[in-house]
Structure 1
Amino acid sequence: MADAGGSKEKKTKEPKNQVHQEAILVETIKKELRQQKLFTNYSVNPFKKSEALTPKPNVYPDENEGEDSSFIDIIHRANLEPEKKYSQPQTTAQEVGWYHEPLLKINRSDARLNFPMIRSEISAYAEEYFKFKPKKYDKSIRSGPETTAKPT
């Protein structure tokens, strides 16, 4: 019998054809090989803290061989502060403190921006009070009752 809403047959998935699967695999490999680039410029990681490289044990060091100046430059550049390496901050965390120079030059004669400490009668009294205040406090105030008792 037919359904009132129309007859819909269930479609069964056909098994994948082996030829099509091979074609998909070949296309995938070709895409990967197009994007793949061979890396041949090998050097020591300048961000890893290793200053000395030892030679092979069975080879005598060449006395005529000088230092590699490009490698030394890479090491020195890696040890610089971020402000000296880059012109702009690379992350949002570097933005804090990146521009540390003041926007306005300090002018001590300008009363609008200069608020020096003014000495009044109260501050003079407090200064004299702290001059004569004893340096060490009473030990009974600092320590609790457990430290005041002497062991017997």
Structure 2
Amino acid sequence: MAGGRQEKDLVHLNAIHVENVKKERRYQKLHTEFSINPYRKLHVLPDKPMCSKPPESLSEDSKVRMAPSLKYPKPITESQEIGWFVNELPPQDRQDPRFNFPRRKTDITQLALFTKKRGN
């Protein structure tokens, strides 16, 4: 016992805790109705940083409405490279074996179809 202080045992610590809880409950209120504080400013979302003009002031025939491939001579980003140079496909030639892969029936595919029809 240094300085005349006594060590507190678990009973005294529990009594102090119970007293603190009673004080907290005495001043605690349950709020069920909520409203906006009229004295506090609301957060206002800013405009988009890259949009300097409001959308209403842009004309329909401006470069904003054009496709990127018409606005720029070459792709600006890597994701624009896909589909940038689009040309019409050549007409299909069914006789050219390089581009035509018709379905062919073999003994294995006929056996697979036969077993599938039988339900095995």
TM-score range, shorter chain: 0.3 to 0.5
Using structure 2 for the length normalisation, give the TM-score: 0.37
Q: Highest relative contact order (Cα 8 Å, sep 6+), 1 or 2?
A: 1
Using structure 1 for the length normalisation, give the TM-score: 0.32
